[in-house]
Amino acid sequence: MAGPVRIGIVGGGWAGMAAAVTAVQRGAHVTLFEAASQLGGRARAMNVDGPEGQALPLDNGQHILIGAYTTTLGLMRSVGLPLHDSLLRLPLGLPMAGGGGLCPPRWARDWPAPWGPLAAVLGSAQWGWPERWALFKLALAWWQHTPGPDERTVAQACLGVPARVMDELIEPLCVSALNLPSTEASAQVFWRVMRDALGGSGLAPWAASDLLLPRVDLGQLWPEAAARALQSQHPDRWQCHLGQAIQGISRGPNAWTLQGPHGSTEVDRVIWASSAVVAAKAMQALPASDAQAWAAQTSALQHTAIATVYTHSPSATLDAPMLALRSGHGSNGAQFVFDRGQLSPHEPRMAGVWAWVVSACEGERESITTAVMAQAQALWPAAGLRHLQTVVDKRAAYACRPGTHKPAQRITDGVWAAGDYTEGPYPSTLEAATRSGVAAALATTSA
């Protein structure tokens, strides 16, 4: 192929922007099409009306990163993002609202994995020795886990674990990582996430198990920062078209054609980085049998929903930037609450703004809001919490149940998929998305 390879990327979410940065860094000419008016996909910035009518730069979903997300963090660093200003580092721990949970002692917070997390378990004053010993053995099993077929759920794999450990650690970790309760979630995938977090290598100076909470909105955290870097450093090899949905894809004798609202664009290879539903529909139009098979498998994926409920309190603050919440508030009760004021202390507008995350939620926005506000009133009756906005993503994550098989990234000759639903060891996380984008870019820029 004469000259630099021309790559068309459909979708400007985290996977699409990871593909764009990697492909441009490898010398390709990249043209990206995003149907929305901004980059970020399912993890993007949005404005929410504050208590005084002012615009609050929040997100369409609250996210957590961990130190083991080396691909995501490495990409951020490669475009010059000041990571220590953009992410708040917390050592592994899940303090519960009202007390309890995994609260690591100070002397264990900076130990490397796996010794830091294991010492945190043994040194947690919140639990008795039976709970500590049970979790110590379980953590060793995670660390030593060898990936392989496992048709059990997380609950089945944790038989015999004390109820308090399940309620205060396993269940919150499971639902936050896989967006499913332990009775439905795949033990194989959960074990892989826990193994990487407890025994893997984080991006220095962070430990793999460190929790990294965004201090800025998700647009600034990756997609917008990546686009600015590409425009500044490689303007001759980067084009970005916002608000332009690709309406068709076809193959000619020498190139692929992407049909947009304002005309067609010819490229040598395509990375389709939209949602699974949109990607499957687009690939059904291709005559190739492998593309048809890929579309059928992708269409069969089941998805689960996540809601983020934003509230405001005129004066209250949480005991920590993030707290886990006990079950018992119905199927639409939140599992975590985040104090955005503590995460962004230099942004006065964020004071008193809390984000309540409801994983694996069901029903409509109104019922979810009602459940969370009742939960909030029960937990902090004197806080005077006021509802700001509820955001529901009904296809936030693929349903990571035992036996679920994700579609391959290769769709057909010259066309690759990128997204957190494609093949790989992780559930629907930011790291799964960026890994898929990097892998697709490496494949499409290889000779």
pLDDT at 441 over 90: yes
Which neighbouring-strand residues pair with 306?
Answer: 359, 393
pLDDT at 104: 67
Spatial distance between the Cα atoms of 247 and 282, rounded to a whole number of angstroms: 8
* Residue 343 placed within a domain: yes
Place of tokens 């490229």: 267
DSSP 315-367: S---SSSEEE--S-S-TT--SEEEEHHHHSTT-GGGTTEEEEEEEEE-S-HHH
Verify that 125 and 110 share a domain, yes or no.
yes
Domains held by the chain: number: 3
Asked if 118 and 132 touch (Cβ cutoff 8 Å), the reply is no
Which residue, 158, 174, 209, sits at the end of a domain? 209
Verify that 168 and 197 share a domain, yes or no.
yes
Verify that 295 and 440 share a domain, yes or no.
yes
Verify that 182 and 235 share a domain, yes or no.
no
- Of 93-107, 204-218, 234-248, the one with minimum mean pLDDT is 93-107
pLDDT at 150: 72
* Residue 238 placed within a domain: yes
DSSP 9-36: EE--BHHHHHHHHHHHHTT-EEEEEESS
Spatial distance between the Cα atoms of 82 and 89, rounded to a whole number of angstroms: 13
* Residue 204 placed within a domain: yes
The arithmetic mean of pLDDT across residues 352-375, rounded, is: 95
pLDDT at 201: 77
Strands (E), 83-234: 87-90, 94-95, 101-102, 211-214
Beta pairing class for 94-95 and 55-59: unpaired
pLDDT in tens, 411-432: 999 999 999 999 999 999 999 9
pLDDT in tens, 105-145: 666 556 665 566 666 666 666 677 788 788 777 777 766 66
Verify that 252 and 319 share a domain, yes or no.
no
Which tokens go with 136? 């110590």
Going by C-alpha positions, the residue among 309, 302, 301 that lies closest to residue 332 is: 309
The arithmetic mean of pLDDT across residues 388-395, rounded, is: 95
pLDDT at 3: 78
Verify that 293 and 423 share a domain, yes or no.
yes
Verify that 174 and 102 share a domain, yes or no.
yes
pLDDT at 326 over 90: no
φ and ψ at 421, to 5 degrees?
Answer: -90, -5
pLDDT in tens, 253-290: 889 999 999 899 999 999 999 999 999 999 999 999 99
How far from 178 is each of 44, 153, 401, 442, CA to CA, in Å?
20, 12, 9, 27
* Residue 85 placed within a domain: no
Verify that 284 and 413 share a domain, yes or no.
yes
Verify that 372 and 347 share a domain, yes or no.
yes
SS3 433: helix
Verify that 271 and 178 share a domain, yes or no.
no
Q: How confident is the model at residue 92 (pLDDT cuts 50, 70, 90)?
A: confident
* Residue 113 placed within a domain: yes
The arithmetic mean of pLDDT across residues 337-355, rounded, is: 94
pTM of the model: 0.93
pLDDT in tens, 147-199: 566 789 999 988 888 888 888 888 888 998 999 999 999 998 998 888 888 77
**% of the chain at pLDDT higher than 90:** 69
The arithmetic mean of pLDDT across residues 235-240, rounded, is: 97
* Residue 124 placed within a domain: yes
233: CATH: 3.50.50.60
pLDDT in tens, 12-59: 999 999 999 999 999 999 999 999 999 999 999 999 988 888 899 999
pLDDT at 329 over 70: no
Q: What is the mean pLDDT of the chain?
A: 90
Domain of residue 139 covers 92-209
Verify that 123 and 246 share a domain, yes or no.
no
Peptide bond into 105 cis (omega under 30): no
Q: How confident is the model at residue 398 (pLDDT cuts 50, 70, 90)?
A: very high
End-to-end CA distance of the chain: 9
* Residue 275 placed within a domain: yes
- Of 138-147, 303-312, 326-335, 356-365, the one with minimum mean pLDDT is 138-147
The arithmetic mean of pLDDT across residues 199-207, rounded, is: 79
pLDDT at 117: 62
Verify that 251 and 322 share a domain, yes or no.
no
* Residue 71 placed within a domain: no
